[in-house]
Structure 1
Amino acid sequence: MPETGLRSAPRFSIVVPVYNVQGYLRECLNSLLAQDFTDFEVIAVDDCSLDGSGGILAEYAARDPRVLTVRHEENRGIGAARNTGVDRASGDYLLFLDSDDTLTTGALRAMADRLAGAADPDLLLFDHVRSYWWHAVQPSAARELLAGAGSEVFRPAERTEFFQMFAVVWNRAFRRCFFVDNGFRYTDGLYEDALMVYTTMLTAERALCLDHACVDYRQRRHGNSMKTPGRKHFTIFEQYQRLFAFLDGRPDLAALRPLFFERMISHFLFTGARESRVLVQDRPEFFRRAAEMYRRHKPAGFTPPAEVDARQFQALERGSYRLFQAGELMSRTRKNGQERLRAARGALSKRASGSYYRKQLKRPLDPHLAVFSAYWNRTPSCNPLAVHEKAKELAPHLHGVWVVREDLADTVPDGMDHVVVNSPRYWEVMARATYFVNNVNFADGVVKRPGQIHLQTHHGTPLKRMGIDQQQYPAAAKGMSMRKLLARADRWDLSLSANQHTTEQWERVYPCDFESVDAGYPRNDVFFRTGARDVLDIRARLGIAPGATAVLYAPTVRDYQVGYVPQLDLEKITRELGPEFVLLVRTHYFYGQDPHLQELQERGALIDVSRHPSVEELCLAADALVTDYSSIMFDYANLDRPIVTYADDWETYVRSRGVTFDLLSGEPGDTPGAIATDEDELIEAFRSGRWDDQAAAELRAAFRARFCMWDDGHAAERVVSRVFLGDQHPAPAPLPLAARTPAPSPREAARIVAGAAPVPAGDGAPDRPGAELTG
């Protein structure tokens, strides 16, 4: 087990077991390292994660000596990971924090202050809150109990009301010597928390309470092992058998056996009644095992307390599954299940209201039919188009059909099969296709059938907040139903990503059960497969004069504004930069044509490329990019050409939309090049040469390393292989950044065509005579 980091003797050792939580791990670690009480160590145990969690841990360990990382070479479970953390710990107190939860602000300070005057008790019990994906926060049921204890130090076995607290290990701190000297070890399987909580509470001589909510317990919409049904939930019987074996060895605790018997049976009933834990077909056996435990451990003279359902206890005592099913709890669960089924059927009926669609849904799937769409059924473009083109080459057995709006049907390239939205053939292909590829979501009315595979390609790297994060920004979420958004995202099987940052964001802000495909964006393959003559031909078609420096200005949409509001005086910019520069202006696709831009174009002041069908061609034609917060910066960075950030309303944008990192920090990896916050500063950046100097190049290199991780010209091949071909066509791993050769810049292209410079070797360089001129 390799480990990294430095050791110390801190007040707290915080053990964080980690397994496939890349979407949440940074938030967890940030909550620890931002604590104002700093005398702690973090022992993060990577339980052989298959995602990017290990890389995130290595990154944090490299920059903060308080972070110690350990990796299991095989997955051993959360209990084993916690044990490994305990073995490495050196602090006075042990804290256990799950890697998708966080510590609240001031948590460690509150713990340290409470412990300071209590002569190191064995346990410190503290409060928590639950937070939900819709950003609701719920206090715990133990808040008043903890507050009522004040600063009293007590023996837990004598204060049984504290056994009613949520039986988890992360809402308490354990004195390390107490924990280790008594030989406490986590067991395998689920429900290990309850066993550890009860045995440590029964052993401890001195405990203390803190009514500060120290942990934010995230209620994940998907991915919580406790909400995934299966046989693993039968481990609950083994855990409670261990608890009663512990009690057998402690005759001094005999008076507490009825309490723990009631706790055990209530836990069985709670678990067995939930479809999210025990499958319907497994319930008879679950009941039988629960009944055996009831008879084996029932204390003499036990009577169910008033607060529980006595009928359920009686059913277990008699071993009557029929009586058990008839009980109120099971009836309520069954009723809820029936209501959900009726709701689902009603929704299906509503979505598939057309009789033709309903009929098509009964027909078998076509294993060779794939449906493509982009930007809400606009002209074929972006990642879906690149995937479609590569699929024609590598998977010719597939038949691709594009979904387009009726008013854009005449823009579909000749020979490309397409259907118009809501036409009869549209409903047929939507019902029978096996594959669905889109860079947004398909319409709510589309029913996902078993066997259908949805690939969400997305259409950018998220600087701005997306998904459930938008709930915190009313301007961004206006008119949006988050529940409907997530219902659409629930149809995704695969989610495409261009870099680790994006993968982490998608997995957190779309809490759905999809698999990330870390392949790069296929639309960017063209940046590595375009030759010098093609670059010059694109410029000629756009009307860019030979030798001119073309600057592509591509701002993003502003959620806090209505309609297109220019952020720049474009006429002033073009006048001040002079004739050697030409400005290509592309407004966001949400906006219609702008009369002022058309007027400036007619006067020769700039070139309006807002309706140009290929943004990739515009990038290839440009010597430099000026943008604000648009995701085009991440794509353009692949070309290794200058990027200037024009951010005149950064604070307003951050408040209204939110961002995932500080674009203007000037730190390597955050900022892609020169920054301008007003028009004069932008003009100065070009006049002084700051737009393309050494400092800008160094920032761009760090930005590319962070955000161009997997774009190398083979992204579409990797996607087609993963989605359509599987093991039949192993895809190449992404090339190292230094081994990639993007398309030549316009100046380089001119020299190449003129024969003044050789073509550099590399993946992007052509390998046949003359190819460097044709692309």
Structure 2
Amino acid sequence: MRTISIILPFFKYKHYFKECLQNLAQSTFKDFELIVVLDHPTEDIDDLLEQYNSVFDMKVYALPEGVTGVAACRNVGIQEAKGAYLYFLDSDDYVLEDTLQNMIKAIDHDVDMVYGMINHTWNNKANYLHKIENKEVDEEDQEEREQQRLNRLSDFISFSSYEKDEQQAKAIFYTMDNRKGIRTFTVLGNLYNRDFVVRNNLKFNENFRYYCDMTFMCPLLEKLTSALQVEEAIYVKRKHNDPINEPALSQEENENRFNERCDAVEYTRTLLKEEGVVRFCLDRKIVSYFVSQMAKKIRRSQDDLWRTEYFERMAKTMDGIRPEVMNRYKRNSRKMVAYLQNRDLKGVQSCVRRKLGIKKFFRIFKNKNVLFKLAYYHVYSKKPIQENTILFETFMAKNYSDSPKYIYEYIAKNYPGKYKCVWALNDGHEVPYGAEVVKRFSFKYAYYLAVSKYFVFNVRQPLWYRKREGQVFVETWHGTPLKRLVFDQEEVTSASPKYKQQFYRQRQEWDYLVSANPFSTKTFRSCFMYEGKMLEYGYPRNDILYWPNKDQIAKDLRKKLGIPEDKKTILYAPTWRDDEHYGKGEYKFTLALDLKLMMEKLSDEYVVLLRTHHYIADNIDTTGLEGFVYNLSKYDDISEIYLISDICITDYSSVFFDFANLKRPVLFYTYDIEKYKNQLRGFYIDMNTEVPGPLLYTSEEVVNAILNIDQINEEYKERYEEFYKRFCCYDDGNASKHIVEEVFK
């Protein structure tokens, strides 16, 4: 008999299931049977089952027609299991290598349940472990958090009168009471004694799609006689980056979800002792849901269901709570629940208004930026739209550059006085032709977001912006995509795991999207799920590369920057790495190119122009490289830098698509290409066969390529021509003109 029966339901998302099986195969503990229960899968997984049939002691079952859901799958698993212990595993989650081994090793006698830890992530195991490894831990803060947890545990044991049965009290605390919310209350991450489960006839209620866990777990916790905690046994619960196309069960939007939550709580109560601690904890969960989540919807939602049908349904559920449950809540929450039980909607709304008002006050007190948002929503958005006002922004107001700059200057030169132009800039940069400059995230910025007729941005608009009827949004974007973007990314490892969900809403506010080439048009349709008007004229920022006076512009810029006339220039423009960040929009960067070696070998003939991505927060130290390295990372307009660059070195940045317009040599320093391709992003084109230059993996190779640049040019001449025809075909120096004529009529 196997020691553990792992019960694994599968419905959809084959790629998650494959990773789940791959990780399970790496487990140091092998003495288990794997019971896969198929819930009418939407994808063919026969190849996966065949592949892993020889790896595991695997049994596969299928739910009969008319029966569906994770509850039914788990019940089949319990019925067919032969192991001493049961372990539930969802097909989009995974366990670490030593999780099962740590649990079994800790058992020195039969116990009803062994419970581990659940860690939440948005990432696959490789990226999850990378983030854990690189996360800086404040030991004092960790100790303080642990002490607070122990204090809560002590209070819970004392309150629950479980001093004589501390094992059961701890199990209830760690698996139920200490986990906030109802969605986080789960059967996952624990071992269950199969004899104990069968003897007590513990099953999942198959009528519930979303909240079946409580119907199994609550009666189990109440019947526990022995339990063991193993903190080193980690179950990794994986959230889905793409809740639009691939929602996890917890992310599904379903109008039945609310009623099921109430039904599941009421049903589970019937399985429990009315005066028991588990019933008390369950009641607390539904009360907490009401006062923290539902109450806000009663106040704010435009759907009147929250104030009618849902209000009455929740009141019915609340009728069943024990009065002493409310003793642990603050006065306003107690009043809110009392008003609900009395079916007093106005009373509840009054309590919610007070709660939100206090919360808003403290938010303003802690962060004065809240004030301009309030002004935006409650004052500015009620003002009339100004028909000839345009708000411009590039790279979150970090500089005056990119396509919005060239669109603006075309308007200023050709339609003087017709439009009121406003630029969002954070550094006080002066803008030519008399545009008004406002600081991003200020009262004036919020004002112009509310009243401007037109917007020309090269990145996404703020999350709190809500487009008004009559406003026109032009999204220029900021490059031809090499790296997979948004909905074409399987894994989001950046600092904003809700990236896809947020992007989906924001792109619905775009009226126009600029495309540099046919490839971009097709790719943007896919990766942004964009269905609006595409402006296929090339990038306005590339217009300068075709201007007749471009050589004079280059000469003046070299003089301004102090670059010696007798030196050729090498532009090094690396991009950011998704998994190395300080916070949202701020990325770490370690310079991998050996500039000292380049100085030693190339300084007689060349200088280096360093230009990092605007997301990179680190300042690159160029001490000792003076006169050879010119750090232009703060220089606004990279298009102007292209004009003074004889060679471009990049990695996975889109700069080479634009630079190719000049038909000058491009080198690719791709020292971490395997990680970037397989773990972080992935590419739209084959870098080995399609980019217009060689892939180089060491600083020595980069130096050698520069020393033999004529040979490189000849070797890649044909590929460069093909690349130019494919990706530079729209650019002709008139993109700004065409876009202005179409958008502004």
TM-score normalised over the length of structure 1: 0.51
Q: Which runs of 5+ in 2 are unaligned?
A: 123-130, 158-164, 177-184, 300-305, 410-418, 521-535, 555-567, 577-586, 731-745
The answer to whether 1:675 aligns with 2:696 is yes
Q: Using a 3 Å threshold, how does the CA distance of structure 1 residues 463 and 273 change in structure 2: closer, same or farther?
A: farther
Deviation of the 1:432 alpha carbon: 1.2
Aligned to 2:741: none
Of residues 283, 307, 310, the one that matches 1:265 is: 283
Structure 1 match to 2:530: none
Structure 1 residue 274: deviation in Å? 1.8
Gap runs ≥5 in structure 1: 1-8, 149-155, 248-254, 390-398, 465-494, 577-581, 651-657, 698-742, 751-758, 767-775
Residue 627 (structure 1) aligned with residue 650 (structure 2)? yes
The answer to whether the Cα contact below 8 Å between 1:230 and 1:278 also exists between their aligned partners in 2 is: no
**Separation in 2, partners of 1:276, 1:293:** 13
Q: Does 1:243 align with 2:272?
A: no
8 Å Cα contact 1:17/1:82 also seen in 2 = no
Q: Which amino acid aligns with 2:669?
A: T
Q: Does 1:13 pair with 2:6?
A: yes
Q: Distance in 1 between matches of 2:69 and 2:115?
A: 23
1:420 corresponds, among 411, 415, 437, to: 437
1:124 counterpart SS class: strand
CA change 1:676–1:341 in 2 (3 A) is closer
Which residue of 2 is the match for residue 432 of structure 1? 451
CA offset digits 1:539-589 (Å, max 9, x no partner): 996699xxxx99764346996799x9955535833769xxxxx99856347
**Contact map agreement 2:204 2:212 (CA 8 A) in 1:** no
- Show the 5 A alignment for 1:56-95: 80-81=69-70, 83-84=72-73, 92=83, 94-95=86-87
Residue from 258, 264, 267 that aligns with 1:233: 258
- The equivalent of 1:730 in structure 2 is none
* Whole-Å separation in 1 of the counterparts to 2:224 and 2:324: 27
- Once residues 37 and 220 of structure 1 are traced to their aligned partners in structure 2, the CA distance between those partners, rounded to angstroms, is 27
Q: Which amino acid aligns with 1:193?
A: D
Match of 1:106 in 2: 98
Does 2:525 match 1:525? Answer: no
Among 350, 357, 361, which residue is 1:338 paired with? 357
Report the Cα offset of residue 236 of structure 1.
3.0
Q: Secondary structure at the match of 2:431?
A: helix
Aligned counterpart, 1:479: none
Change (3 A) 1:682 1:130: closer
CA drift at 1:372 = 3.5
Aligned counterpart in structure 2 of residue 173 of structure 1, from 191, 196, 204: 191
The alignment status of 1:126 with 2:147, answered yes or no, reads: no
Say if 1:682 and 1:173 are closer, same or farther in 2 by CA, change over 3 A: same
**Partner Cα separation in structure 2 for residue 267 and residue 313 of structure 1:** 14
Summarize the alignment of residues 378-527 of structure 1 with structure 2, pairs less than 5 Å apart. Answer: 378-382=399-403, 403=423, 407=429, 409-410=431-432, 419-421=436-438, 429-433=448-452, 436=455, 438-439=457-458, 459=478, 497=486, 499-500=488-489, 505=494, 507-508=496-497, 513-515=502-504, 524-525=516-517
* In 1, Cα distance between equivalents of 2:640 and 2:261: 56
- State the secondary structure of the residue aligned to 1:614: helix
Partners of 1:220 and 1:511 within 8 A in 2: no
- Secondary structure of residue in 2 paired with 1:515: helix
Mapped partners of 2:719, 2:547: distance in 1: 12
* Aligned 8 A contact 1:388 1:400 in 2: no
Residues 251-277 of structure 1 deviation map (CA, whole Å, 9 limit, x = unaligned): xxxx66655553443333222222357
The answer as to 2:372 corresponding to 1:351 is: yes
Give 1:239 deviation, angstroms. Answer: 1.0
What letter corresponds to residue 500 of structure 1 in structure 2?
Q
Equivalent AA in structure 2 for residue 614 of structure 1: S
User: Does 1:364 pair with 2:384?
Assistant: yes
Counterpart position of 1:721: none
SS of residue matched to 1:682: helix
Shift of 1:197: 0.8
Alpha-carbon contact 1:674-1:690 (below 8 Å) kept: no
Deviations 1:21-75 (A, max 9, x none): 99x99998887676544667696999999xxxx99x999999988799x9x9xxx
Structure 2 counterpart of 1:677, one-letter code:
T
Amino acid at match of 1:409: V
Structure 2 CA distance, aligned partners of 1:453 and 1:354?
Answer: 21
- Counterparts of 1:161-200 in structure 2, within 5 Å, are 162-164=171-173, 165-166=175-176, 167-174=185-192, 184-200=204-220
CA distance in 2, matches of 1:273, 1:267: 10
Partner of 2:292: helix, strand, or coil?
coil
What is the distance in 1 between the residues matched to 2:504 and 2:380? 28
Residues 96 and 527 of structure 1, relative CA distance in 2, 3 Å threshold: same
TM-score by length of 2: 0.53
Per-residue CA deviations over 1:106-154 (Å, capped at 9, x if unaligned) read 3222123245x556x6643334467999998766959979xx9xxxxxx
Count of residue pairs brought into register by the alignment: 590
Q: Which residue of 2 aligns with 1:393?
A: none
Change in 2 beyond 3 A, CA 1:536/1:460: closer
RMSD over aligned CA atoms reads: 7.5
Q: Take 2:364 and 2:401, find their aligned partners in 1: how far apart are those partners? A: 34
CA contact under 8 A between 1:584 and 1:609: conserved in structure 2?
no
* Distance change (3 Å), C-alpha of 1:636 and 1:522: farther
Structure 2 partner of 1:280: 298
Question: 2 CA distance for matches of 1:37 and 1:690?
Answer: 58
State the secondary structure of the residue aligned to 1:125: strand
Q: Partner amino acid for 1:374? A: T
The 8 Å contact of residues 552 and 586 in structure 1, kept in 2 or not, is answered as yes
**Structure 2 Cα separation of the partners of residues 222 and 332 of structure 1:** 36
Q: Structure 1 18/349 Cα, relative in aligned 2: closer, same or farther at 3 Å?
A: same
**Counterpart code for 2:265:** Y
| Contact 1:325/1:331, CA 8 A, preserved across alignment | yes
Q: Deviations over 1:343-388 (max 9, x none)?
A: 5678578438999x99754313469976442132644525x68999
Structure 1 residues 341, 664: closer, same or farther in 2, change over 3 A?
closer
